[in-house]
């Protein structure tokens, strides 16, 4: 019986294990040291910044509300490492103190060489440094940076392009705004969302530019532009959006419908009513949703017809739209309880419950007005026929008024009718 060398002796495996222990042990110690040093260093830096902030903040406050140049207010020359601190103080002051703070801060950034610093950083080889520089230049509101930022709208990294766009949106000179629409050309929903946010911030001016350039935009940019029109609620975009309801692309049609609803122009109702017949269900669903936001009643019949649409979302949105249409809409929902389409009827029940109307009807069961009481009884009977009695059953047990509880119990057959008992 021979025992292998590595089990009893000091062969190569032993050496390997020794070596591994040394290597892993060293890395372990290194990691522990990194943890300790990085934590200690961060706490030291944070404490230093906190101390210096207490020292400098009052001077900056005096500067932004004062007249003279920044040098007159500084207690001492600023160290290079205090740049971030100074930026933070000014950005915070911009939130607290209103008025001319932005201009005063911008002058200070210019005087202290920060703008120059970030313009240099904008040309860095590292994308995150360029992105940060673009962001900071935007926050500093430097018009001098406009040209460089426009150049970086063509940066190879999307993040830098979006940051440059955002900075231009913040600076918002006439020169800065037009290139922003170019940022919409960036592929990807995420970029579109962010650029849309910037353009929305720019308001009606961006609508003008988007309207001019709309037809030249690629599909995803068109979709983003339509969303922007809806969110800005721009009346100028209404006629274009109506046209787009006839676009060959269903996504465009659906979004145009939604945007018209967001704008809330009641004269668009007839256009949206037409879209309820669209062959694409998403368009019909969005049209129904949009109609629910318009203050008009001419679409009620069309919405009732949509309650029997083959698509669930269209039916649900149509029912919800009717709920929002006031008395006539609710009347239409009540009429739907007699629909041969069980699903439409059930959808109507859900909407009547969510709007609180059914609670009102239940309380009318105890009304002294005979007609009102009979109406309520008729509706309850329809619900029983439709087997949508969960709420009624609950109310039969928990309603605060005992006579309503009794009536509901009778309707639901939970207890014998008094006459039968007699």
Partner 1 sequence: MKEFLVQAIVAFNDFVLIYFLSLNAIYLLLFVLSLYEVLKFIKRTFFSDYQQILQSDMTWPISILVPAHNEERNIVETVRSLQLVNYGEFEIIVINDDSTDRTLKNLIEAFDLRRVDRVYKRSLETKPIRGIYGSLTQQHIVVIDKERGGKSDALNAGVNLSRYPLFCSVDADSIIEDNALLRVVKPFMEHPTEMVAVGGIVRIANGCEVHEGRVSKINLPTTWLPILQVIEYLRAFLTGRIGWSVMRSLLIISGAFGLYKKSEVIEVGGYDSESDTEDLELVVRLHENCRRKKMKYRIVFVPDPVCWTEVPATFQTLRRQRNRWHRGLLQSLWRHKGMFLNPRYGIIGMFTFPYFVVFEMFGPFVELTGYVTIPLAWWLGILNTRFLVLFFVLAVLCGVFLSVAAILLEEISFRRYPRWIDLAKLVVFGIMENFFYRQVLSLFKVKAFFDFLRRRRGWGDMKRRGFERRAPA
Question: Would you tell me which residues interact with partner 1 (CB under 8 A)?
Answer: 1, 3-4, 6-9, 13-14, 17-18, 20-21, 24-25, 27-28, 31-32, 34-35, 38-39, 128, 131-132, 135, 159, 163, 188-190, 192-194, 196-197, 224, 227, 230-231, 258, 262, 312, 316, 343, 346-347, 349-350, 353-354, 356, 359, 388-391, 393-395, 398
Q: Contact at 8 Å (CB) between 292 and 320?
A: yes
Which residue, chain included where needed, has tokens 């170019």?
182
Separation between Cα atoms, residue 273 and residue 28, nearest integer Å: 69
Contacts of 250 (CB under 8 A, 6+ apart): 278, 280, 282, 283
Separation between Cα atoms, residue 223 and residue 255, nearest integer Å: 7
Separation between Cα atoms, residue 355 and residue 315, nearest integer Å: 16
> DSSP secondary structure string, 254-308?
HHHHHHHHHHT-GGGHHHHHHHTT-SSHHHHHHHHHHHHHSS-STTHHHHHHHTT
> DSSP secondary structure string, 340-386?
S-HHHHHHHHHHHHHTTHHHHHHHGGG-S-HHHHHHHHHHHHHHHHH
Separation between Cα atoms, residue 407 and residue 34, nearest integer Å: 75
User: What's the min distance (Å) between Cβ of 315 and partner 1?
Assistant: 8
In the 8-state DSSP scheme, what is residue 79? P
Among residues 330, 246, 324, 261, the alpha carbon closest in space to that of 291 is found at: 261
User: What's the min distance (Å) between Cβ of 355 and partner 1?
Assistant: 9
Q: Give the nearer residue to partner 1 in terms of CB position, either 275 or 346.
A: 346
Q: Give the nearer residue to partner 1 in terms of CB position, either 334 or 395.
A: 395
Q: Give the nearer residue to partner 1 in terms of CB position, either 273 or 347.
A: 347
- Torsion angle, alpha carbons of 201, 202, 204, 210, to 10: -110
User: What's the min distance (Å) between Cβ of 347 and partner 1?
Assistant: 5
Q: Give the nearer residue to partner 1 in terms of CB position, either 78 or 386.
A: 386
User: What's the min distance (Å) between Cβ of 293 and partner 1?
Assistant: 13
Separation between Cα atoms, residue 344 and residue 309, nearest integer Å: 8
Q: Give the nearer residue to partner 1 in terms of CB position, either 70 or 268.
A: 268
Q: Contact at 8 Å (CB) between 138 and 162?
A: no
User: What's the min distance (Å) between Cβ of 227 and partner 1?
Assistant: 6
User: What are the tokens at 242?
Assistant: 């109506």
User: What's the min distance (Å) between Cβ of 68 and partner 1?
Assistant: 34
Q: Give the nearer residue to partner 1 in terms of CB position, either 110 or 359.
A: 359
Separation between Cα atoms, residue 410 and residue 5, nearest integer Å: 93
Q: Give the nearer residue to partner 1 in terms of CB position, either 61 or 343.
A: 343
Q: Give the nearer residue to partner 1 in terms of CB position, either 16 or 65.
A: 16
User: What's the min distance (Å) between Cβ of 34 and partner 1?
Assistant: 6
User: What's the min distance (Å) between Cβ of 330 and partner 1?
Assistant: 15
Q: Give the nearer residue to partner 1 in terms of CB position, either 58 or 356.
A: 356
3-state SS assignment for residue 253: helix
Separation between Cα atoms, residue 154 and residue 293, nearest integer Å: 39
User: What's the min distance (Å) between Cβ of 353 and partner 1?
Assistant: 5
User: What's the min distance (Å) between Cβ of 76 and partner 1?
Assistant: 30
CA distances from 377 to 143, 330, 381 (A): 71, 17, 6
Q: Give the nearer residue to partner 1 in terms of CB position, either 44 or 190.
A: 190
């Amino acid at each position: 019986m021979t025992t292998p060398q590595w089990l009893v002796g000091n062969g190569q495996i032993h050496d390997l294990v020794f070596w591994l222990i040394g290597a892993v042990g060293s890395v372990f110690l290194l990691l522990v040291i990194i943890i300790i040093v990085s934590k200690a260093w961060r706490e030291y830096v944070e404490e230093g910044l906190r101390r210096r902030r207490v020292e400098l903040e009052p001077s900056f406050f005096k500067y932004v509300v004062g007249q003279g140049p920044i040098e007159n207010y500084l207690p001492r020359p600023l160290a290079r490492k205090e740049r971030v601190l100074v930026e933070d103080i000014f950005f915070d002051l911009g939130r607290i103190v209103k008025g001319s703070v932005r201009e005063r801060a911008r002058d200070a950034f210019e005087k202290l060489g920060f703008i120059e610093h970030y313009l240099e950083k904008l040309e860095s080889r590292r994308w995150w440094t360029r992105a940060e520089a673009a962001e900071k230049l935007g926050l500093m509101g430097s018009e001098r940076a406009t040209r460089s930022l426009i150049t970086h709208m063509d940066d190879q990294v999307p993040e830098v392009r979006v940051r440059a766009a955002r900075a231009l949106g913040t600076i918002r000179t006439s020169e800065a705004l037009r290139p922003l629409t170019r940022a919409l050309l960036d592929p990807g929903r995420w970029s579109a969302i962010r650029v849309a946010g910037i353009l929305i911030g720019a308001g009606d001016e961006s609508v003008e530019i988007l309207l001019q350039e709309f037809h030249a935009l690629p599909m995803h940019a068109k979709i983003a532009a339509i969303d922007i029109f809806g969110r800005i609620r721009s009346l100028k975009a209404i006629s274009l959006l109506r046209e787009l309801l006839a676009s060959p692309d269903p996504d465009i049609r659906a979004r145009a419908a939604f945007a018209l609803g967001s704008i809330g122009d009641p004269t668009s109702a007839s256009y949206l009513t037409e879209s309820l017949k669209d062959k694409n269900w998403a368009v019909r669903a969005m049209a129904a949703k949009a109609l629910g936001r318009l203050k008009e009643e001419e679409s009620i019949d069309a919405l009732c017809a949509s309650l029997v649409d083959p698509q669930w979302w269209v039916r649900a949105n149509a029912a919800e739209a009717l709920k929002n249409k006031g008395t006539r809409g609710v009347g239409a929902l009540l009429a739907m309880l007699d629909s041969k389409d069980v699903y439409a009827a059930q959808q109507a029940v859900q909407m009547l419950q969510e709007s609180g109307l059914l609670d009102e009807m239940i309380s009318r069961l105890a009304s002294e007005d005979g007609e009102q009481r009979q109406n309520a009884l008729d509706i309850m009977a329809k619900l029983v026929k439709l087997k949508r009695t969960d709420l009624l059953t609950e109310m039969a047990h928990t309603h605060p008024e005992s006579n309503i509880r009794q009536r509901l119990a009778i309707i639901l057959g939970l207890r014998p009718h008094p006459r039968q008992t007699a």
